[in-house]
Structure 1
Amino acid sequence: MEDSRRAVASTGLLVAAIRAMESIRDDRLFTDPFAEKLAGETGRALLEKALAETGERAAVQIVIRTRFFDEAMLRAVRTAKQVVIVAAGMDSRAYRLEWPDGVTVFELDQPAVIAAKRDILVDDTPRCARVAIGVDLAHDWPAALTAAGFDPTAPTAWLVEGLLQYLDEAAVRTLFERIDALSAAKSTLLYDVVGKSLLESPMMAPLLEAMEKQGSPWLFGTDEPGELAQRHGWSATVTDIAEVATKWNRGIAPPNAGNVPNPPRGYFVEATRP
């Protein structure tokens, strides 16, 4: 199995290891029974290294993000029966969430990543119709998606999680244009984005340096996260990550802690197309 994981970006394995770590806590915010096997030895080693270098802050953010989008996805599929997870990596939602009847989850990622997950979860059964599509997101993924059975005339729940910071601004804009072109009325778009202030914050320097060393530099951030969807006519609700962390009693200071002007932030966005 570790041979398969060599094709997966280290960030995907690290995130799976964080989900596995959260799943054994007494006060866990979710349970992911697939995370441990998805992470493997490589993911566990990456997590140990990350905790030693940057502490628990990044891990807490991923835990909060996972729970937030779990809940948001299940809200979205009350009206949308097709889900698209962009750059799905080692995401296990198709296998672990209680999806309503009739939901189809499309997962997009590099062919090698799709193949690796197939090998790891070969004995497991998803809890919905799952369609895995191996395609480079820099290429014509909308054509691959529609060829796999996606219906652009039906409402869709889109999830873009943990991706935007790795793209440059032009690629981010192109991604949102493509999603908008494929989205019918009553579609939902869920995404997270780091604040530009966060990218420039001294407290983030160790994490950003570590990400760059492993070949995954953070390139994009904005403190107007709703604008990415609003410029295409979507309505957007923006939630500060720290506010959610405070609600769930996890250790990220609220954005106004210490009365620091323009504090560094990260955001979750839940956008809907009228």
Structure 2
Amino acid sequence: MARTKHHSAGPALRVDAAATLVAAARAVATKRGLITDPFAEPLVRATRIGFFTRLIDGELDIFDLGDDAALARMIELFAVRSRFFDDFVATAVGHGIRQVVILASGLDARPYRLWWPPGTAVYELDQPSVIEFKTGVLRQLGATPTVNRRAVGVNLNQDWPAALRRVGFDGGEPGVWIAEGLLSGVLSPEAQDRLLDNVTALSAAGSRLAADHMPTGIQSWAEREQTLAERWRHHGLEIGLTGLTYAGRHHDVGEYLAARGWETATSNLADLFAATGLPRLRRDDLANIPVSQRYVTATRRSRHRGAAGDAGQSA
């Protein structure tokens, strides 16, 4: 799904469908007892996209959606990814950090479904339409946040750091950053670098970050987009897959952060499957899986004057 530098965002459905697919996978994973996300299913149903409601109702098997068995493992893959980020943020707040930023939060409902220590603030950043939709649906369900939730409707290609500060984020205190599904080609190489530079500039010593990303060289979705689009269209989802990710060489997230004052560690899918206790994929199954294959955790070291990224910049 190669995307050019000057490509526009396109119809809202394209963004919503991508977020809804992940939520639908979490809903099915919840039914299978792999994770616990009680809000995934009602959020998917509220989109009124029949393709996804049929998926969570079991009328459509995810094995029918892809051109190989790898795509059909999405339920387990997204369950592992969700558990990875949930565990990471739980550990971070358990060590006393009291401000959490979820970049491109999509239809996930961590401020509602997780336990948070008193005094914690969770900042959710995403497109205004996504924030408005999710907030409205959860309000209709009578759901109440379990934390001080501060939702920020903003495009991450705009000046999101200023928007974050306006609602109370304090760059002088440590923070936790979650970038789930965001650093896998969704942003252009230049925009990804700017985002990481801004996160660095906003992060006091002791801040923590977790992200998944697709290393350059892994088989891209561009090689299978036509087959996927045809299969999904056959099942009633009219969505163009081209243009959802950017072409070009993206920096390795762990290496980029390490050069900017972060202490980083990287895991792969096999590591995560083993750590979470879910059934581990065979080694052959890990090749060319069309989701992020590396998971980075990072802790911000003490700032040094003049270090790369410390100057900060507008997105």
TM tier, shorter chain?
Answer: 0.7 to 0.9
Q: In structure 2, how many angstroms separate the alpha carbons of the residues matched to 1:143 and 1:49? A: 43
Q: Which residue of 2 aligns with 1:37?
A: 42
Q: Which residue of 1 aligns with 2:307?
A: none
SS at match of 1:159: strand
Contact kept? 1:38, 1:90, Cα under 8 Å: yes
Residue 169 in 1 paired to residue 189 in 2?
Answer: yes
Higher relative contact order (CA 8 A, sep 6+): 2
Q: Which residue of 1 aligns with 2:282?
A: 253
Residue 96 in 1 paired to residue 123 in 2?
Answer: no
Contact kept? 1:246, 1:253, Cα under 8 Å: no
Q: Which residue of 2 aligns with 1:127?
A: 146
Contact kept? 1:19, 1:32, Cα under 8 Å: yes
Q: In structure 2, how many angstroms separate the alpha carbons of the residues matched to 1:12 and 1:273? A: 29
Contact kept? 1:105, 1:129, Cα under 8 Å: yes
Q: Which residue of 1 aligns with 2:241?
A: 214
Residue 56 in 1 paired to residue 56 in 2?
Answer: no
Counting only pairs closer than 5 Å after superposition, residues 1-274 of structure 1 correspond to structure 2 as 9-26=16-33, 28=34, 30-40=35-45, 41-42=48-49, 43-45=52-54, 48=60, 51-54=63-66, 55-77=71-93, 78-122=95-139, 123-165=142-184, 166-200=186-220, 205-206=223-224, 210=228, 213-215=240-242, 217-219=244-246, 224-247=252-275, 248-254=277-283, 266-274=293-301
Contact kept? 2:25, 2:74, Cα under 8 Å: no
SS at match of 2:218: helix
SS at match of 1:196: coil
Contact kept? 1:208, 1:217, Cα under 8 Å: no
TM-score (norm 1): 0.85
Q: In structure 1, how many angstroms separate the alpha carbons of the residues matched to 2:168 and 2:217? A: 40
Q: In structure 2, how many angstroms separate the alpha carbons of the residues matched to 1:181 and 1:88? A: 21
Shift of 1:80: 1.2
Q: Which residue of 1 aligns with 2:3?
A: none
TM-score (norm 2): 0.74
What are structure 1's unaligned runs of at least 5 residues? Answer: none
In structure 2, relative to structure 1, the CA distance for the partners of 1:246 and 1:223 (3 Å cut) is farther
Answer with 216-225 or 231-240: which moved more.
216-225
Q: In structure 2, how many angstroms separate the alpha carbons of the residues matched to 1:95 and 1:194? A: 29
Contact kept? 1:187, 1:272, Cα under 8 Å: yes
What percentage of aligned pairs have identical amino acids?
A: 35
Letter in 1 for 2:259: R
Letter in 2 for 1:61: L
Answer with 162-171 or 81-90: which moved more.
162-171
Shift of 1:213: 3.1
Shift of 1:251: 4.7
Q: Over the residues paired in the alignment, what is the CA RMSD in angstroms?
A: 2.8
Q: In structure 1, how many angstroms separate the alpha carbons of the residues matched to 2:262 and 2:227? A: 35
In structure 2, relative to structure 1, the CA distance for the partners of 1:61 and 1:199 (3 Å cut) is same
Q: In structure 1, how many angstroms separate the alpha carbons of the residues matched to 2:282 and 2:217? A: 15
Contact kept? 1:103, 1:128, Cα under 8 Å: yes
Q: In structure 1, how many angstroms separate the alpha carbons of the residues matched to 2:143 and 2:292? A: 37
Q: In structure 2, how many angstroms separate the alpha carbons of the residues matched to 1:89 and 1:83? A: 15
Which structure has the highest helix share of the two? 1
